């Protein structure tokens, strides 16, 4: 009996320690501590997603982003807004196509995405909102896609 009680105490003691270490690790991971230098991530996009390898924000405020239409049908873009969270700056979107075929990629370019001077290697956070229409048969519906792009100034 005593060996069983000792084993249970051992498991409970080390089990709590392992649980605490796991919680700390998850918190650090969610804060981006383990994010590799120069890497980009995204969050929140559902159907229209940025292709991170084709997306960048230069330290002078020029944004270039390649997005893919994962909606499953053709769509018509109404508008795109991009906001730099760290600077609280609304970017001036200069180009985007009017329509995109299903599964197709499209390019978005914007200027003036920074307020002040930034160095290459500093972090940025962009809030991207895309408004578009989808027509199925004779019914046209309007949708909004909102997400974040996190990265490093180039």
pLDDT digits (tens), the chain, 154 positions? 566 777 778 778 888 888 999 999 888 877 766 665 556 777 888 888 888 888 888 888 888 888 898 888 888 888 888 888 777 788 888 878 888 888 888 888 888 878 777 667 777 888 889 999 988 888 888 988 998 888 877 7
Model pTM score: 0.69
CB-based burial of residue 126 (10 Å sphere; 0-12 exposed, 13-18 middle, 19+ buried)?
buried
124 phi/psi in degrees, rounded to 5:
-135, 160
Q: For the domain with range 41-152, which CATH number is right: 2.60.40, 1.10.3470, 2.40.10, 3.30.460?
A: 2.60.40
Which helix or strand (DSSP H or E) is residue 16 part of?
A: helix 2-30
- Which long-range contacts does 97-101 make (Cβ < 8 Å, 24+ apart)? 99/74, 99/75, 100/69, 100/74, 100/75, 101/69, 101/74
Q: Among all chains, which residue has been given the structure tokens 């001036």? A: 92
Q: Which two tokens stand for residue 146?
A: 């909102």
């Amino acid at each position: 009996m005593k060996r069983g009680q000792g084993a249970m105490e051992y498991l409970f003691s080390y089990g709590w320690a392992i649980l605490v270490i796991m919680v700390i690790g998850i918190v650090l991971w969610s804060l981006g501590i383990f994010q590799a230098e120069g890497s980009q991530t995204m969050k929140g996009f559902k159907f229209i997603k940025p292709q991170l390898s084709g997306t960048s924000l230069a330290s002078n405020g020029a944004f270039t982003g390649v997005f893919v239409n994962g909606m499953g049908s053709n769509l018509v873009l109404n508008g795109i807004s991009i906001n730099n969270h760290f600077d609280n700056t609304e970017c001036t979107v200069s180009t985007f196509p009017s329509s995109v075929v299903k599964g197709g990629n499209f390019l978005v370019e914007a200027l003036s995405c920074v307020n002040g001077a930034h160095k290459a290697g500093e972090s940025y956070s962009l809030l991207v909102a895309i408004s578009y229409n989808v027509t199925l048969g004779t019914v046209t519906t309007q949708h909004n896609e909102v997400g974040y792009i996190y990265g490093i100034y180039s």
